[in-house]
Structure 1
């Protein structure tokens, strides 16, 4: 009998998660279970491990960093189940964290993540190969059979046979993933309980001074060395410049500092310059003050930054208060030389009048400092959370913001607050600077778009038009589309000629020369969308206008001629006054067609019974909600209901959107109640 009990006894469970949510896991276990739970984190690790060895722990919770450092100790335990929260952290097979997880001894592995793929399709393999080893074959097989065909088939000029092969491979991949992946999106589960989210990408005009500084950076010897890397060397040798005479840049500004201890350069020269130069361009795109020296840096770096700032400010140095950091509060908070801050200033003024609550994200702590001074100058009541905020204070800041009507803005570091926070009182989200990884920006948006949100959430991603940030966003679109293809089997629009990790097809997205292109007089994203439309794949088949916080404009590229009525509306509402040169909704650009799994579920009646709001021969078809509403996805059903509400109010959709933004919550509630009553009376009469 004793032997049978010993055989039935199961091993402990290990949960590895970000340190910020350790106590959330502990709290949920205390509410919903009676397991013996311990936390392996901090100074009492040895005591907890002794307790674990004595069978006194049923569930052990630890952080990624703790496991990475002490994984050799925990890997000796025979775990019943290992659960990894935010499992996308295992995307890189070369990382120490991934290597540590490979040594775990366990019968079952579970990964929890909202972004199963972030940057590359091979990340998908790494994650599934840990959860279910061998489920997707070998690494080389996966790369040849799935990764390469899917990327090549997404190329804008890919031959038809490439597109057909990619279609078959993606369907095959999705059918395999379904065996190991349980996917539940907000739209599928609680979409009917939420008001929805709109993700606007807003291209803000850089200030004239910003443009001049941006161009001067591109003319620096350090950057020119990278731009001209493939040009034949001027000495007459058959080698390129970077292989011959221009491998090092002793006359540069950034290169001498990087190699101050090694004047002959490093093994990576000159490509070691890429990241520092990109950081400078991103800083200029956000705020000129960021390229000035940081007083907290070491003296040598401060001297280098002063030299860099003096070179790129040139004759404009006095306009920005010199090449050293501005001490003036009024100078730092002035939006005069920052295109994105000018747009933000006017947008926030209109939101504050309507009682909106705002989340304002930035990756840079120095940018947060500038934005904080900007908020103080404008008189906004705000909270702030960044990496220096103690962990035990974060939840109290969140609770105060959610409960206090006087708190208008929450200033948040994307790194520190992009995960785990629940800020449902906010209905406006601003991403001040984009990240190369699209999931970082999407996760930041979802701090507000969560269960418990009572208002429609409107997101504004601010980009400096004509800067590197446009390329960053275009790569975000590319990565999101690859994720939709590989994970959901969706049909995506083929905008780009570039193929990731393929030197033969770098196109407009990849390669060093694209990173350092002068886009200051162009709308890079707009041009790509326009080219896509010229190829007969329209971005908005019905030519619908869009609403941006009370400003109505066509989302079509600037180079396309709008109608007279559109020009009049745009001029009256002042897009140019806001400093916005172009905008579109991210979902209109990224999401194209249904996934492989959805094709069998959605069937529309033929001929006249088409999907609502589709266009045939340039004419809008009459909506027939009674016949098709029940088979539409939740987002489309919401659009239909919104249209019915507009009809009930006697307005078109755009006019009704303006009314919704200007109306008080009480006025909105009255209209909604009257609409429901009329709908109920109609059903009773039938």
Structure 2
């Protein structure tokens, strides 16, 4: 169905200088922060790279295909000297005169960056005041490391404090810590704990849950790590435990107050709730309330108060033609919201923290002309009764009644291929008709925009759906059906790998040719696994050496794939599912990123980009987001911009230019 298409050295540190003018390039670190043994700190004048302009409308050659000026190869960065993060001494986080003394061990502190020390102090201030909060740093700034350093301080993991017996006795009494995270990063948490501190860590996930629970009840476990799905299933058991601290990684998963995960997390018995996320708000301002009402209940008032006092003024004040008084009220409410959030939120960006250690990122949006066949099929799809019903839903009904078409005679679409399948068991329609068609129709338009093969029947679907998709495919291809190998899924290797009928693949072909000739390494993301299969055949046909990772890749095998790609000079392209590869991957050996298909949620694309643009990246990163010109994807991109602006306003208090007249969830001011 449509919904399924939409997851040290312990020796004292001392300064050193570059002794070799041309030292060898070091291998990229295994993880973003766990291998922080080298610090990139080039002289200010060493790299003055020419910035490539954003090309939003590529030129076309005489065949109507997009063309790209050759990208100038970027200068490789040089290795830098071993430079300590700080002196080999503990980081005291407790207040002067406070007893017992709480400090981060020197073996951890000397490896932290300054922004990470600040993050540890922030987490301890929340803990000391007996309430929760959110560490909202950008992806790749070491939220995991900051959390482990904070826990090491709270649990007294400093061997130099052994003589303080009272302090040790106090630490023995502390309850366990629960960490809830995506299943894909469980092993990362395990590895980081073993790398940074000496904790009794157990994973509550898989077949050994009962044994782990017994050890937990026997007070043999200090840190328990579990996945979102496992916690949701076992929430009644885990919620009965008195946790000292609860940490939710990727805490934006708590954005929906109606979800079972959110309701399960509400039952956790502790006030010390910490959320870790680099994307605090993804779609709606109300998501902010849901997250902060979990970490610190009542911090933003009631949901109704938040909606009336913050959400509505901010949304309407951002409208293009909003009256001045609306804009002024929105500005005051924005500043007030930011001041309140500051008590419970610490957010830093890469530019603010490690910008001097990186060579920057350039984000390009490329509008690719669809092939002539794509245009014809797209036009036929728009002419289908299902989509015409949605287009004309607000027009007066043809029967002469004062109602609109969607309210009167055209509420149902019996002759529509999509509608008839959705209502095969209910020919009278549903309560949502005709708006139940919106999502399936949007998906079909997006599929045509990306590749024509995607609208054909999927063999993994049920038989009835395959038959209806075959019927729709025959209609929209019409006389062009033979050009794409019929209405059934194409198994022909040469046909699938051919770029003739796909505008985006034409652009991709030219980009890959240019980049690989310059020695660049590329991350290629797609939201659709079926699209990944097509791209895989294309890469094989063109002779590129590549790796692939999607949801079917075993979790235990993913890190070895990442390591192999980072270390192997022969690996040119990493083909990744946006969902599976959006978290926990560190691919700093790649300096080019292609987002093949945009997502309605801008955070998905940003997370994909940050697989490459993170600490340890030694080259200038260039991102290309491919959009089909004149298609629905232009609206998807506009919606991304709108959501990102709302996030910047509500979370960071930034001033954003007003582009849109539409207001989210407001019928009076509808988006175009």
Pairwise same-fold verdict (TM > 0.5): yes
Shift of 1:496: 0.5
Contact preservation (8 Å) 2:202, 2:224: yes
C-alpha distance in 2, partners of 1:408/1:37?
37
C-alpha distance in 2, partners of 1:250/1:336?
36
CA deviation map 1:107-146 (0-9, x unaligned): 3111110011111111011111111111111111111111
> Does 2:284 match 1:136?
no
CA deviation map 1:444-496 (0-9, x unaligned): 00001111111000000000011110000100000101111111111101011
C-alpha distance in 2, partners of 1:225/1:198?
41
Pick closer, same or farther for the CA change 1:493–1:56 going to 2, 3 Å. Answer: same
C-alpha distance in 1, partners of 2:594/2:445?
21
CA deviation map 1:394-432 (0-9, x unaligned): 111111111111110000001111111111110100000
Counterpart of 1:469 in structure 2 is 633
Shift of 1:174: 0.8
Contact preservation (8 Å) 2:271, 2:296: no
Counterpart of 2:17 in structure 1 is none
> Does 2:376 match 1:212?
yes
SS in 1 for 2:192: helix
CA deviation map 1:39-68 (0-9, x unaligned): 111011111111111211111111111111
Pick closer, same or farther for the CA change 1:191–1:6 going to 2, 3 Å. Answer: closer
Residue 269 (structure 2) aligned to one of 105, 112, 137: 105
> Does 2:642 match 1:478?
yes
C-alpha distance in 2, partners of 1:145/1:229?
33
> Does 2:423 match 1:259?
yes
Contact preservation (8 Å) 2:592, 2:623: yes
Residue 394 (structure 2) aligned to one of 230, 233, 240: 230
Contact preservation (8 Å) 2:310, 2:334: yes
Pick closer, same or farther for the CA change 1:33–1:324 going to 2, 3 Å. Answer: same
Counterpart of 2:49 in structure 1 is none
> Does 2:354 match 1:190?
yes
CA deviation map 1:367-403 (0-9, x unaligned): 0011011111111111111111111111111111111
SS in 1 for 2:403: coil
Counterpart of 2:412 in structure 1 is 248
Shift of 1:316: 1.6
Shift of 1:14: 0.6
Gaps of 5+ in 2: 1-164
Pick closer, same or farther for the CA change 1:14–1:7 going to 2, 3 Å. Answer: closer
Counterpart of 2:213 in structure 1 is 49
Counterpart of 2:246 in structure 1 is 82
C-alpha distance in 1, partners of 2:268/2:504?
47
C-alpha distance in 1, partners of 2:223/2:294?
21
Counterpart of 1:420 in structure 2 is 584
For CA contacts below 8 A with separation 6 or more, give which structure has more relative contact order: 2
Counterpart of 1:293 in structure 2 is 457
Counterpart of 2:662 in structure 1 is 498
Counterpart of 1:92 in structure 2 is 256
CA deviation map 1:280-331 (0-9, x unaligned): 0000000001111122333222211111011111122222222222222111
Pick closer, same or farther for the CA change 1:80–1:308 going to 2, 3 Å. Answer: same
C-alpha distance in 1, partners of 2:364/2:544?
23
Counterpart of 1:614 in structure 2 is none
C-alpha distance in 2, partners of 1:346/1:218?
30
CA deviation map 1:486-537 (0-9, x unaligned): 11111101011010011000132xxxxxxxxxxxxxxxxxxxxxxxxxxxxx
CA deviation map 1:51-108 (0-9, x unaligned): 1112111111111111111111111111111111111000111111101111110131
C-alpha distance in 1, partners of 2:664/2:244?
39
Shift of 1:8: 7.0
- 1:421-440 correspondence to structure 2 within 5 Å: 421-440=585-604
Pick closer, same or farther for the CA change 1:319–1:49 going to 2, 3 Å. Answer: same
Residue 342 (structure 1) aligned to one of 485, 491, 506: 506
C-alpha distance in 2, partners of 1:437/1:256?
29
C-alpha distance in 2, partners of 1:147/1:261?
40
Shift of 1:267: 2.0
C-alpha distance in 1, partners of 2:424/2:660?
40
C-alpha distance in 2, partners of 1:376/1:177?
50
Contact preservation (8 Å) 2:420, 2:427: yes
C-alpha distance in 2, partners of 1:6/1:342?
65
Shift of 1:192: 0.9
C-alpha distance in 1, partners of 2:302/2:491?
57
Q: TM-score, normalised by structure 1?
A: 0.72
Shift of 1:6: 8.2
CA deviation map 1:145-172 (0-9, x unaligned): 1111111111010111111111111111
C-alpha distance in 1, partners of 2:445/2:191?
44
- 1:549-588 correspondence to structure 2 within 5 Å: none
C-alpha distance in 2, partners of 1:454/1:402?
13
C-alpha distance in 1, partners of 2:424/2:259?
29
Alignment coverage as a number of residue pairs: 507
Counterpart of 2:202 in structure 1 is 38
Counterpart of 1:369 in structure 2 is 533
Counterpart of 2:471 in structure 1 is 307
Shift of 1:36: 1.2
> Does 2:310 match 1:146?
yes
Counterpart of 2:550 in structure 1 is 386
CA deviation map 1:344-366 (0-9, x unaligned): 11111111110110000001011
Higher helix share: 1
> Does 2:291 match 1:127?
yes
C-alpha distance in 1, partners of 2:619/2:172?
50
C-alpha distance in 2, partners of 1:61/1:55?
15
Contact preservation (8 Å) 1:87, 1:113: yes
Q: CA RMSD in A?
A: 1.5
SS in 2 for 1:79: coil
Residue 359 (structure 1) aligned to one of 520, 523, 545: 523
Counterpart of 1:283 in structure 2 is 447
SS in 1 for 2:564: helix
Contact preservation (8 Å) 1:79, 1:107: no
